[in-house]
Structure 1
Amino acid sequence: MEEEAGEEPGFDSTPAPRVFQFYHMDLYDSEDRLQIFPAENARIRRETVQAEVTGEPSGEGEGKDQRDLHEDVGELARLYGLEDDHEIGDDEFVDEHRMRGSGYPPYGMKRTDAAGEQSDWRRSTEAAEAQELGYGGWGLAGQCQDLREAYRYTQGRASEEYECYVIPEEEDEEEAADVFCVTCKIPVRADGKNFDDHREHEVTPLNKALESAKEEIHKNMYKLEKQIIEMENFASHLEEVFITVEENFGRQEQNFESHYNEILETLAQKYEEKIQALGEKKKEKLESLYGQLVSCGENLETCKELMETIEEMCHQEKVDFLKDAVTMADRLGEFLKTETDGEISAQPDFEDQTLDFSDVDQLMGAINTIPAPSAPVINPQAPNSATGSSVRVCWSLYSDDTVETYLLSYRPVRDSSPGKDQAEFTLTVKETYCSVRNLEPNTQYEFWVVAQNRAGLSPSSEHAVYMTAPSPPIIKCKEIRSCEEAALVCWESGNLNPVDSYTVELTPVETPGASGVTESLVGIPTCEALIQLLPGQSYVIYVRALNVGGPSARSESATVHTTGSSFHLNKDTCHPWLTVSEDGFTVVRSERKTLAREPLPSNTRFTRCVAVMGNLIPVRGRHYWEVEVDERVDYTVGVAFEDVPKQEDLGANCLSWCMRHTFASSRHKYEFLHNRTTPDIRITVSPRKIGILLDYENSRLSFFNADIPQHLYTFSCQLHQFVHPCFSLEKPGCLKIHNGIAKPKHVTFY
């Protein structure tokens, strides 16, 4: 597309020439390039072009093909937004000399937007397609040559101000690396001259190393994304707490201000009332004193007037004096009869006034009065939040309530449903979490929480069920079976309730070269696991049980050796006349009499043949063990399928392969029985220790004299399923099994 260039620092304002954006991809030879012309029309277009070049007629459809070609070109122009542009000609492309002298950035160095980049890429692709098909109608053949020249020019002219996307050269196939040296961590050509330097190093195919590196990067990216999610959740929770605290203190500040203003108004009202009461009391007292003062003044004036009248009477004549004295005596008598109040009606002292501040006290107390909190929200159980005897319970309070303490109550859940009659326990805590201890393992508990403050209790939260982690499993050491490449580990759950899964942890026994790194096998649904191991090693094995509460503690350890096949005798298949030792490697038939009553037929226990079976690890491979025997004991050793008839002798059917020894009259007789047939083989040296090699790969069962490296006989067996070792004693005696030993050298040839 055509675009106007703005003024850039370091360039003049002359309009910039048309530019193209070069991308880091092969526009000419890549099989994944954009297919401009539809595939169904490619053949017709090529025939049309060839006809135009050679001048040969194209037949009756020549004019129609030419019209179809123009229509396709017009459709492509509309598709790529070129219908509004004028026809692109050779004269619109600036050659290399004009580019160098104009002061403008060369091709591929002008910054364009996303639309411009896409358009330039499409235009370059159209030029490439046009060149391949030989079209010149658009002038794209010459334009592509100019683009290549501009590309070569821009390879050395990229700058910091402009980005240059170039087409990389194809890597030389002869020099490409095809292996990866793990030791040096570099790719190496397998047939190159530098491969000798890495011959002693660990190498791997390059594709495998690339996939391994990608897988490791994906794992790290997954861990990083998980950590980012956890941090985002934690940051979101902190933000909620921050906002809640800010809102709570803001509301508390508003409450304080409101109570303060209310107290000030009450005090002002009390002040006005007391001032008014004091004024009225003052007025009343002053009026009383003033009236008493006026009365005293009047009495005083009367006394003065009487005194003056008496003095005047004393200077009169006797006759006049006597006349006036009688009148004055009457007046004095009346005046003296009048009682004069000599007590002050109002005392000058100020009487203490009792002020009633009960309203103010009530308002002051109301400052700390808060409503009862709302119901808390108890959180679901978090992964790995429990142990076998404790669980961590968390809850939240999304309102602005003030809480002093929380009451956490719980009770066990029986029969997978919340129990109503179970004993309840309550804990008082101050935080929004609590670790409840002294619980039963692998048990569900129902929790609910109540918030409280001085105003009262909140409603109860919703009930949530939490579960404690399981008890450690118990490894069945006597049922562990192993060979040189694998081990079958069995254990008991150790819990009454089911668990979700189990995890097996393997730690190599410390040896001078062992790393001691613990490996884990997770998500095991049953109580056994077949584990692939390295030969000739010793491992310490632990088992954990898991549920929604988390993993249990480690089980007791068990040791597994991969020096050879190892198994124990299965007591469930043992005939009643035989006794299996505690270690599970020795079977004994005593001298006691036979049982008074024959044992009942059974599908798992031998009833007629006095035999016992061993547990063999179900792994395809080669297994070897030895049996220590007595020369004077009648015995049978070999292998049999699990469904071999327990009422028949070993070797008397097609489901068992055995070696039988009978001793009579100082003569030893050896038979190799299968389906009641035996080859004519005589053994001159009686073995004291018999070696047995079970080869699943080649379907063979071989017997050896382990005292002297002597091959006795080999069966060709049809082992369509796994077989078990079998041992039988026809007379009193014992057999001792030696397993977990390495195969002797003479055995490897069979």
Structure 2
Amino acid sequence: MEGEAAGASPDFHFYPMDLYDSEDRLHLFPEEPTRTGREVHAEMAGEPGGTAPGKAQRDLEEDVDELVPLSALGGAGEWGTELADGSAPHMEVLDHRLHGVQRDWRLGAEAEAGDRVCAGRGAAGSSRDLREAYRYAHGRASEEYECYVIPEEEDEDEDEDEAALVFCATCRAPVRAVEVSDEHREHEVTPLSKALESAKDEIHKNMFKLEKQIIEMENFANHLEEVFITVEENFGRQEQNFESHYNEILETLAQKYEEKIQALGEKKRAKLEALYGQLVSCGENLDTCKELMETIEEMCHEEKVDFIKDAVAMADRLGRFLNKETDVEIATQPDFEDQTLDFSDVEQLMGSINTIAAPSAPEINPQAPNSATGSSVRVCWSLYSDETVESYQLSYRPVQDSLPGKDHAEFTMTVKETYCSVTNLVPNTQYEFWVKAQNRAGPSPASEHAVYMTAPSPPIIKSKEIRSCEEAALICWESGNLNPVDSYTVELTQAETPEASGVTESVVGIPSCESLVQLQPRQTYTIYVRALNVGGPSARSEPMTVHTTGSCFPLNQHTCHPWLTLSEDGFTVMRREGKTPAKEPLPGNTQFTRCVAVMGNLIPIRGRHYWEVEVDERADYTVGVAFEDVPKQEDLGANCLSWCMRHRFASSRHKYEFLHNKTTPDIRITVSPRKIGVLLDYENSKLSFFNVDISQHLYTFSCQLHGFVHPCFSLEKPGCLRIRNGIAMPKHVTFY
């Protein structure tokens, strides 16, 4: 197929896919309006409503001439003759042939790939084999072809039936709306879509609980595995120790046996040698006596003279022999002497089985992720030698840089296993740990010191500084820890009450103590914040509820003029009666000095923001917006960085001005507003004011908003302004 494709027209591209698949697939031929065979004949015959017959015929012939050599439909002359004769086949026939060509292309590719991959199976392999060969030939993933589902067209009748269904919470089943008045009259019924969303939320909550339970079970299984490994290692070392000592005892006994056998042989040989020497001496004496007796008998037969001569010599010889002492006692006794065996060294070896050397130093492990809480940490260590250990001594103390100025006392605890959970610790604090192994012989040397860190304390959300709009919310919090943390996580729960469980969304890796979170409009969210470090995440902060209905912002106390007072909730600005302070505020970049005003902290989101201000008809006030760097020693509207609406009341007359850069249009307002609506539109760069009570548009500025602006409120005389934010935009506001 690759060769055929290469030999085709350069404008032709072969795509191994179904020509009549879903709209997401790439079509082989350009899309054209579907026409019947009759319309084709009409065009070729030049009937009304069709194009010129000659041009239509030539165009069709050119299309056929291009397709014929590419698709192997037959000779170009055959089709050209049919078209020229006016007997062109119907489009259904052409469509059928194109289907055949497309099918032949696909089957040819599959067969070719099947020959390469499944050689020997035959041409009639299963469709699954063809698909496998097709994937192999074209290098495509199986999911692209097996998991592709052609979307089914929805029937209008099915939509109407679904719309007619409601969910009965009592029966826990969908029912038709017409049946509610009869069988399910007293049952609790909700719309099917709402019941579906509720079921999805319940499933998400259960999945979250199940994931949490799975994590707990995995941690417990890891704990059991550590205990199992520790027990197995300890008993293995004990078994090796016993075997070694018993082998040593057997070697000692064998050595003693050899020594005793050798000593007995030496004593036997000494006794035999002594008896043999005594026996030889007795034989010699006996031979001498026999010789003397024979000599004396011979002398007795001699003559007297000779006898007397020999007798004198014999008498001397007999005297010497008789005077010689003869040992007639046995040199050694034949009895076996009892040998006392000394087994003191064997007994010492037997006792040394329970008297072993002190173990070597353990190796403490580095801290594992998520192994700590705010007040505890789990410490693990290892002992890689074959020595027997009865217990461990774990010591720890705070790192000196963590808690300056405090006594860094050391604490020691005795444990049996190679791990320990140390409690009563300070949150977000580093501790150094070291461990010793001990047995009857004594403790081992200390291991190297390892630094572990406890998890942080829960952050504290600043409820008065939270800002929101319909699209997002800016969450601010305090760390609550002495030492810095690594990052923060914001958890969102879309619910009506803070007690709702489950997490809808999490924003992780936040480096600072604030985060701008994108939200859905007109919803209520419960927000939590966690702090993270190497020890793990902290517990959740106290929940905070955020509404995305309108824009909500607090007033900035740092910009407030000293003559103004903010209420406890931060939404009322007051200037009291009485003599003003003689001391003027010092010039600064944040606090207003000349204009008695205060700024609000609007969320920095480009879009549409709306808030309202309740005013006193007789008060002198100014309401508007300004950039953060607006000169604080100038009045609002007196520069190009502020836009405002100012009211002056004198001699029972109201004067309204819409000021920007000291200019105002000539506008007269007949109905004095008691509630002013302010619409800030970043997209269209407009600032509009409204009389909320009568839904009247007052004025609109066309602003050059190159950055974010802040709401501004000013009181030139005693009075008060009540800011109402976090409210939805009225319908009449949306037109501007």
Q: C-alpha distance in 2, partners of 1:353/1:169?
A: 93
CA 476–455 in structure 1, closer or farther in 2 if over 3 Å, else same: same
1:497 maps to 483
Which residue identity is paired with 1:252?
Answer: N
Instruction: Work out which of the residue numbers 228, 240, 247 in structure 2 matches 1:251.
Output: 240
Which residue identity is paired with 2:708?
Answer: F
2:688 maps to 1:705: no
CA 450–242 in structure 1, closer or farther in 2 if over 3 Å, else same: closer
1:156 maps to 124
Q: C-alpha distance in 2, partners of 1:546/1:748?
A: 43
Contact 1:629 1:736 in 2 (8 A): yes
Superposed displacement of residue 539, structure 1: 0.6
Which residue identity is paired with 1:556?
Answer: E
2:418 maps to 1:455: no
Contact 1:111 1:162 in 2 (8 A): no
Question: Deviations 1:97-128 (Å, cap 9, x if unpaired)?
Answer: xxxxxxxxx98777889xxx8xxxxxxxxxxx
CA 497–625 in structure 1, closer or farther in 2 if over 3 Å, else same: same
Which residue identity is paired with 1:554?
Answer: R
CA 154–461 in structure 1, closer or farther in 2 if over 3 Å, else same: same
CA 509–167 in structure 1, closer or farther in 2 if over 3 Å, else same: closer
CA 731–111 in structure 1, closer or farther in 2 if over 3 Å, else same: closer
CA 595–448 in structure 1, closer or farther in 2 if over 3 Å, else same: same
CA RMSD for the aligned pairs? Answer: 4.6
> For 1:400, what is the secondary structure of its paired residue?
coil
1:571 maps to 557
Q: Which runs of 5+ in 1 are unaligned?
A: 1-21, 34-105, 118-149, 171-176, 202-225, 280-351
> For 1:707, what is the secondary structure of its paired residue?
helix
Superposed displacement of residue 421, structure 1: 7.8
Alignment of 1:460-479 (within 5 A): 460-479=446-465
> For 1:252, what is the secondary structure of its paired residue?
helix
Contact 1:409 1:424 in 2 (8 A): yes
1:729 maps to 715
1:188 maps to 151
2:495 maps to 1:509: yes
Q: C-alpha distance in 2, partners of 1:194/1:154?
A: 42
Superposed displacement of residue 457, structure 1: 1.5
> For 1:749, what is the secondary structure of its paired residue?
coil
Superposed displacement of residue 617, structure 1: 0.3
Superposed displacement of residue 595, structure 1: 1.3
Q: C-alpha distance in 1, partners of 2:401/2:502?
A: 43
1:165 maps to 133
Question: Deviations 1:548-598 (Å, cap 9, x if unpaired)?
Answer: 000111111111000110011111100000011110100111113111221
Alignment of 1:267-278 (within 5 A): none
Aligned length in residues: 505
Q: C-alpha distance in 2, partners of 1:703/1:111?
A: 77
Q: C-alpha distance in 1, partners of 2:720/2:352?
A: 93
Q: C-alpha distance in 2, partners of 1:28/1:445?
A: 75
1:427 maps to 413
CA 154–231 in structure 1, closer or farther in 2 if over 3 Å, else same: farther
Instruction: Work out which of the residue numbers 712, 728, 731 in structure 2 matches 1:745.
Output: 731
> For 2:727, what is the secondary structure of its paired residue?
coil
TM-score by length of 1: 0.60
Superposed displacement of residue 462, structure 1: 1.1
1:718 maps to 704
Contact 1:566 1:616 in 2 (8 A): yes
Alignment of 1:338-357 (within 5 A): none
Superposed displacement of residue 253, structure 1: 3.9
Superposed displacement of residue 448, structure 1: 0.8
Instruction: Work out which of the residue numbers 669, 686, 704 in structure 1 matches 2:655.
Output: 669
1:682 maps to 668
Which residue identity is paired with 1:543?
Answer: V
1:370 maps to 356
Superposed displacement of residue 401, structure 1: 1.4
Q: C-alpha distance in 2, partners of 1:666/1:536?
A: 42
Q: C-alpha distance in 1, partners of 2:347/2:227?
A: 39
CA 414–32 in structure 1, closer or farther in 2 if over 3 Å, else same: farther
Alignment of 1:60-75 (within 5 A): none
Which residue identity is paired with 2:578?
Answer: R
CA 425–26 in structure 1, closer or farther in 2 if over 3 Å, else same: farther
Contact 1:504 1:522 in 2 (8 A): yes
Q: C-alpha distance in 2, partners of 1:666/1:251?
A: 107
Q: C-alpha distance in 2, partners of 1:109/1:685?
A: 86
1:627 maps to 613
2:381 maps to 1:392: no
CA 254–428 in structure 1, closer or farther in 2 if over 3 Å, else same: same
CA 670–112 in structure 1, closer or farther in 2 if over 3 Å, else same: closer
Superposed displacement of residue 241, structure 1: 6.7
Q: Which moved more, 1:625-634 or 1:591-600?
A: 591-600
Superposed displacement of residue 246, structure 1: 7.8
Superposed displacement of residue 456, structure 1: 1.6
Superposed displacement of residue 27, structure 1: 8.4
> For 1:596, what is the secondary structure of its paired residue?
coil
Contact 2:575 2:715 in 1 (8 A): yes
Contact 1:256 1:367 in 2 (8 A): yes
> For 2:693, what is the secondary structure of its paired residue?
coil
Alignment of 1:75-114 (within 5 A): none
Question: Deviations 1:45-96 (Å, cap 9, x if unpaired)?
Answer: xxxxxxxxxxxxxxxxxxxxxxxxxxxxxxxxxxxxxxxxxxxxxxxxxxxx
Q: Which runs of 5+ in 2 are unaligned?
A: 16-110, 139-143, 163-214, 269-337
Contact 2:117 2:133 in 1 (8 A): no
Contact 1:699 1:716 in 2 (8 A): yes
Superposed displacement of residue 640, structure 1: 0.4
Contact 1:373 1:458 in 2 (8 A): yes
TM-score by length of 2: 0.61
2:285 maps to none
Question: Deviations 1:452-492 (Å, cap 9, x if unpaired)?
Answer: 11112212111111111111111111110000111001111
Superposed displacement of residue 431, structure 1: 0.8
> For 1:389, what is the secondary structure of its paired residue?
coil
CA 693–239 in structure 1, closer or farther in 2 if over 3 Å, else same: same
2:66 maps to none
CA 536–602 in structure 1, closer or farther in 2 if over 3 Å, else same: same
> For 1:367, what is the secondary structure of its paired residue?
helix
Contact 1:473 1:491 in 2 (8 A): yes
2:680 maps to 694
Q: C-alpha distance in 2, partners of 1:198/1:724?
A: 52
Contact 2:114 2:134 in 1 (8 A): no
Which residue identity is paired with 1:601?
Answer: P
